[in-house]
Amino acid sequence: MEALSRLVVAFCDLVEAEAKLLRRRAVEAATGATLVLVAGFCVALGLALLGRGGYLVLARLWGPVAASGITGGLFVALGGWLGWTVHNRIRS
């Protein structure tokens, strides 16, 4: 009977230790995901402002229609390149 009670206590200690580890890892994962989201927002905002600045420069040089086409084409190319890069990393 004593061996069985020791086994139950050891099992409960193991479950408690695993639960603590799971909680710690969940907090780390949530923190990492939050940081990635904030970083992604900052990158998107920076690219938007960079695109706006490029548009304003090009609009003075070649007019608004050409500036829209050039900046749009650059962002489409950038998006395609990023998508292709992510696709290749996921596949390998």
Residue pair 65/55 in contact by the 8 Å Cβ criterion: no
Does pLDDT of 14 surpass 90?
no
Mean pLDDT, residues 16-29: 90
pLDDT tens across 28-69, in order? Answer: 999 989 998 999 899 999 999 999 999 999 999 999 999 999
pLDDT of residue 71: 93
List the chain domain ranges: 2-91
Sign of CA pseudo-dihedral 67, 73, 74, 79: positive
Backbone angles phi, psi at 84, to 5 degrees: -65, -40
Does pLDDT of 87 surpass 90?
no
Distance CA 14, CA 20 (A): 10
Structure-block tokens of residue 4 = 């069985």
- Those residues with Cβ within 8 angstroms of residue 36's Cβ, 6 or more apart along the chain or in another chain: none
Give me the percent of the chain exceeding a pLDDT of 70.
100
